[in-house]
Amino acid sequence: MHDILLILRLLLAIALAFAVGKLVSKLKLPSILGWLIAGMILGPHAFSLVNQEILDNVWYQNIMHILECGVGLMIGTELVWNKIKKSGRAIVITTLTQSLGTFLIVSLIFGIVFLITDVPLYLAFLFGGIALATAPAPALSIVREFKTKGPVTSTLIPMAALDDIVGCIVFFSTAAVVAANLSAGDLPAYMIALVVILPLVIGVVTGLLAGVVLKKERNRPMTLILLAVTILAASGVGFLFNGLLPRPILNFMLIGMSFSAAFSNMIPEKRLEQIMGYFNPILGFAMIIVILNLGAPLDYHLILGAGIYTVIYILARACGKYFGAFCGAAFTKSPKTVRNYLGLTLLPHSGISLVFTGIAVGVLSGPVPECAQIIQGTIAAAAVINEIIAVIMAKKGFEWAGEFNKNIAVDDTERLNTPM
């Protein structure tokens, strides 16, 4: 009975988030900003409709992982080899320049600040490792809501998958080195490889099986049933391995990306468009819940308590993302709009940053608790402030690039041509 009440509270929160998103969209702002703000207002730090008990509940976390896996389809289905082979080199180079550039700039700036303030320098590299990651869900929500299409969109979507991989490699490598130096043996070295390779392997293996069952053209109900079953299978394997690891840190969106990339390269393009046309309404619902979950842990009180480290972090990360993307796009002779505006779409950050921060705090809290407090307070405050600004700037990036309302929805056209 108690769990039923918690579920009802969650459903009410989802309905309220949807309503707030609609109100925000009336102001010509992306709905995601409304979902994010609703998450903060309804989360445990404000009205607590979505309280800490819900956030900590196993069934809630499992639902979030499944939905993250489903949202990953928006990225993975764009990773069709025939689509990306022409611009693959540019995407890889730009991903490396913007991610590694962010790591270097944030690490360098904090290194100078910490040298002056007598804070251990290794903390600067942890800040850099946390900063380089990008949360793809906010930008993808804008892509979906405003039907963006063009060079910036086509660069961003496959880049989101590569960015997650680079982010995990750099952060876990950095955290492992710091943990070894502090003799905090709770982060085994093999975790670096597992956290990147395992989600990819799980996604590809289950995605190949999905490709076999989804290849044949079927009506909407049967297609959605088969897709749901295969998504649940991919998530289930992820749950299994998460339970075997010392800590449950597998990236389920990465599982979803590789899962959908695998089956997308096995089936005809027309069938893929049909599948995603059927899946789009479910994807929209999943996006609301994922963003609501992203906002719920954020404490709006931290805006008032934000210190100089938070300001430095937000500005340094923004510079790294923008100028890293600019340099990569210029080097690869990408279109001018990619060079000028891609960096703005890469600013959303909070989901993955909070995960990385939790791991970093776990490494630091035993041997150097004062450093754990610095990194936890700085990133928590930055997550609140940056995410609100970043969503607006990401929307402006697509708008200034002239990519709004260019993508034609496939739902209606495919429905007319498909036997039921």
* pLDDT surpasses 70 at 350: no
Q: What is the pLDDT of residue 398?
A: 93
- Read off the pLDDT band of 275 (50, 70, 90): very high
3-state secondary structure of 240: helix
Q: What is the pLDDT of residue 79?
A: 74
Write out pLDDT tens, residues 80-126: 776 666 667 888 899 999 999 999 999 999 999 999 988 889 999 99
Longest dimension (CA), the chain: 69
- Read off the pLDDT band of 251 (50, 70, 90): confident
* pLDDT surpasses 90 at 203: yes
Q: Name the pTM for this structure.
A: 0.73
- Read off the pLDDT band of 413 (50, 70, 90): very low
Write out pLDDT tens, residues 283-310: 889 989 988 887 888 777 766 666 888 8
- Segment of 4-18, 134-148, 290-304 carrying the highest mean pLDDT: 4-18
CB contact at 8 A, 187 and 175: yes
**Total domain count, the chain:** 1
Write out pLDDT tens, residues 253-267: 889 988 998 999 999
Looking at residues 376-388, what average pLDDT do you find?
80
* pLDDT surpasses 70 at 186: no
Structural domain for 298, as ranges:
2-416
The first and second tokens of residue 309, run together, are 């480290």
Minimal CA–CA distance to 367: which of 193, 111, 246, 187? 187
Q: How many CB atoms lie within 10 A of CB 28?
A: 8
How does the average pLDDT of the chain come out, rounded? 84
Q: How many CB atoms lie within 10 A of CB 170?
A: 22
- Read off the pLDDT band of 164 (50, 70, 90): confident
Q: What is the pLDDT of residue 414?
A: 39
* pLDDT surpasses 80 at 246: no
> CATH number of the domain that 109 lies in?
1.20.1530.20
- Read off the pLDDT band of 170 (50, 70, 90): confident
> CA 380: distance to chain centroid?
17
Distance (Å, whole) CA 119 – CA 377: 15
Distance (Å, whole) CA 316 – CA 349: 13
